[in-house]
Chains A and B, each alone.
Chain A
Amino acid sequence: MDINLTLVGQGITFFLFILFTMKFVWPPLSAAMEERQAKIAEGLNRAERGQQELAQAQEKAAEIVREARTQASEIIEQANKRGGEIVEEAKQAARVEGERLIAQAHSQIEQERTQVRAELQQQVAALAVTGAAKILEREVDASAHNAMLEELASQL
């Protein structure tokens, strides 16, 4: 129970142990721990940055899709419009062509009618002359009555 030299021995031992801990134990351990801490902090930072980048990229992708959709609908709309225009133009052309054909047909018919009428007039005139000659039992001087015949023919 008495205080004796052991105390001094313990004190010396204590300082030796502290010095050993200070030189060989504490620095490598605390360095390793700090390094790991820094690593973890950096990793967390990176993960956060990665997530931000991912969110940005997703946003960008969504925007691109949205744009593409808008463009596609625009193109479809244009195509529809253009198609309508083409149909309209074709209709127009067809109508014009039809009208032209009809007009042509009309004029041809008119021409043929005129021609037929003229022929008919002549024939009627000839018939009339023949008929008159038969009635009169004599030759009708065609040239002498030509004027009268013509007038007759035009009245038919």
Chain B
Amino acid sequence: MASEAHSPSEIVQHHLQHLQVSVGDGGFWTLNIDTLFFSWVTGLLFLGLFYSVARKATAGTPGGLQNFIEMVVGFVDQQVKDTFHGPKNFVAPLALTIFVWVLFWNLLDLLPVDWFPTAAAAMGIPYLRIVPSADLNATFGLSLSVLLIIIYYGFKGKGAGGYGREWLTHPFGAHWALWIPNILINLVELISKPVSLGMRLFGNLYAAEIIFILIALLPWWAQWLPGTAWAIFHILVIPLQAFLFMVLTVVYVSLSYESH
């Protein structure tokens, strides 16, 4: 352990502290540098990997890497096809971006929790959290963007009139006295989507991270058993959460796009 002199609660708190810079007055005007940095690194890794394959993609016999990338693309494409029946030229890349990006975020959670903070401390960086999906800002950054896309697709699929009428008349009925309840219900329904998306991903990964930190507090000879068990369990959670985020996004967009 790098910080034997500290108490366990101090270590945990230290591990949960973001590397932040303030860019203005108040708590909101702060940037979590570590979250931004690692989400950019994983995102560029994703884009670089897929772009390098896409540039040389042939319709002939695919090589090993192209085969793997095509498997992922085909998988995402199938999911989108199954749920969304509008034009796919935006929704499919959206789903692919979410799936792979979130998957990479989550995979960072499998790296031993002490490596990066220790290395960072050696370079003079006081705090470092490398898993973007364990930061509410990252998950809500994604889910609120998805909210914008949902609203956009509501307008796109039904037109301004149709979408507005749905807000007024759905789900209770078209009577004018029901307009207010309808709007309230729709508002709750709409808001619940990004909240559940963001909270689900954040909750899973944050909890997992805390458990990894707690395991890291054990003496070195007792770490491997719970560490291995939790990591193996976590291998299931990582792709599952990425998959859920992607599929629910496509489902929400599809619900918003198609008339009921």
Interface positions of A (Cβ within 8 A of B) = 1-11, 13-15, 17-18, 20-22, 24-33, 35-36, 39
What are the 7 tightest A-B residue pairs by CB atom distance, in nearest-first order? A10-B141, A35-B59, A6-B137, A32-B57, A22-B93, A21-B93, A6-B32
Q: Which residue of B lies closest to A8 (CB)?
A: B141
0/1 per residue, B12-42, Cβ < 8 Å to A?
0000100010011001111110011001100
Per the bound structure, the CA–CA distance linking A125 and B24 in Å amounts to 184
What are 21 A-B residue pairs whose CB atoms fall within 8 Å in the complex? A2-B27, A3-B137, A4-B29, A5-B28, A9-B141, A10-B36, A10-B145, A11-B141, A13-B36, A14-B97, A14-B142, A21-B50, A22-B89, A22-B93, A24-B55, A25-B51, A26-B96, A28-B55, A29-B69, A29-B70, A32-B58
Inter-subunit contact B23/A5 (CB<8 Å): yes
Shortest Cβ gap from A141 to chain B (Å): 142
Closest to B146 in A: A14
A contact residues around B32 at 8 Å (CB): 4, 6
Instruction: List CB contacts (< 8 Å) of B105-133 with chain A.
Output: 132
Cα A120 to Cα B16 with chains together (Å): 167
**A10 touches which of B59, B93, B137 (Cβ 8 Å):** B137
Contacts A9-B31, A21-B97, A25-B54 given; does A3 touch B73 at CB 8 Å: no
Whether B93 contacts A7 by the Cβ 8 Å rule is: no
What B residues does A36 contact at CB under 8 A? Answer: 59-60, 62
CA distance A5 to B32 in the complex (A): 8
B43 in the interface (beta carbon within 8 A): yes
Interchain CA distance A24-B51 in the complex, whole Å: 7
A17 to B142 Cα, complex, angstroms = 11
Residue B210 lies at the interface, judged by CB distance under 8 Å to chain A: no
Whether B39 lies near A25 (C-beta < 8 A) is no
Measured CB to CB, the residues of B under 8 A from A are: 16, 20, 23-24, 27-32, 35-36, 39-40, 43, 46-47, 50-51, 53-55, 57-60, 62, 69-70, 73-74, 77, 89-90, 92-94, 96-97, 101, 132, 135-138, 140-142, 144-145
Q: A14 touches which one: B89, B96, B141 (CB < 8 A)?
A: B141
Whether A13 and B70, one on each chain, are in contact in the complex, defined by CB atoms closer than 8 angstroms, is no
Q: How far is the CB of A43 from chain B (nearest CB, A)?
A: 12
- The answer, among B36, B46, B53, for a CB contact under 8 Å with A9, is B36
Determine the distance from Cα of A25 to Cα of B141 in the docked complex, in whole angstroms: 22
Q: How far is the CB of B108 from chain A (nearest CB, A)?
A: 15
Contact A3 to B28, CB < 8 A, known contacts A17-B97, A21-B97, A32-B58: yes
The CA-CA distance from A11 to B137 in the complex, in Å, is 9
Query: Given the complex, which residues of A lie within 8 Å of B46, measured CB to CB?
Result: 17
Instruction: Name the B residues within 8 Å of A20 (CB-CB).
Output: 47, 51
Given contacts A2-B27, A6-B35, A14-B145, contact A29 B50 (CB under 8 A): yes
Q: CB < 8 Å: which of B16, B31, B58 contacts A5?
A: B31
Bound Cα distance A58, B172 (Å): 71
For B39, list chain A residues within 8 Å (CB): 10, 13
- 15 additional A-B residue pairs with CB within 8 Å, beyond A17-B101, A33-B74: A2-B28, A4-B30, A5-B28, A9-B141, A13-B39, A21-B47, A21-B94, A21-B96, A26-B54, A26-B96, A31-B57, A32-B57, A32-B58, A32-B59, A39-B59
What residues of chain A lie closer than 8 Å to B50, measured between beta carbons? 21, 25, 29
A residues less than 8 Å from B135 (CB atoms): 6
B77 A30 Cβ-Cβ under 8 A: yes
Residues of A within 8 A of B30 (CB): 2, 4-6
Query: Does the CB pair A7–B137 fall under 8 Å?
Result: yes
Indicate whether A11 sits within 8 Å of B145 (C-beta atoms), given known contacts A28-B55, A29-B73, A33-B70: yes
